[in-house]
Amino acid sequence: MKNIIFDLGGVLVGFDRQRSIDAFERIGCGKVADYIRDHRTEDLFYRIELGEISTHDFCEEVRQMTATNADDGAIIHAWNVLLTPVTENRLQRLRELREKGARLFLLSNTNDMHWQYCGHQLDGCFERVFLSYEMRLAKPDTAIFAEVLRQADIDAHDTLFIDDNADNIAAAASLGIKTFHNQNIDDWTLAIDN
Inform me whether the pLDDT recorded for 40 exceeds 70: no
Lowest-pLDDT choice from 24-38, 65-79, 88-102, 111-125:
24-38
Percentage of residues in the chain having pLDDT higher than 70: 96
What is the mean predicted confidence (pLDDT) over 160-183? 97
Residue 41 confidence (pLDDT): 59
In angstroms, the CA 44 to CA 86 distance is 26
Percentage of residues in the chain having pLDDT higher than 90: 86
Q: Are strands 128-131 and 103-108 parallel, antiparallel or unpaired?
A: parallel
pLDDT interval class at 33 (50, 70, 90): confident
What own/partner pairs with CB < 8 Å and gap ≥ 24 does 13-22 have? 13/83, 13/84, 13/85, 13/86, 13/118, 13/121, 14/83, 14/84, 14/185, 15/39, 15/82, 15/83, 15/84, 16/81, 16/82, 16/83, 16/84, 17/82, 19/81, 19/82, 20/78, 20/79, 20/81, 20/82
**What is residue 66's DSSP assignment?**
H
Residue pair 101/3 in contact by the 8 Å Cβ criterion:
no
Cis (ω within 30 of 0) for the bond into 140?
yes
Residue 91 C-alpha from the chain's centroid: 16
Q: Which residues contact 74 (CB under 8 A, 6 or more apart)?
A: 27
Q: How far lies 159's CA from each of 37, 43, 93, 156, 176, in Å?
A: 33, 32, 17, 5, 9
pLDDT interval class at 117 (50, 70, 90): very high
In angstroms, the CA 190 to CA 10 distance is 15
Residue 45 confidence (pLDDT): 84
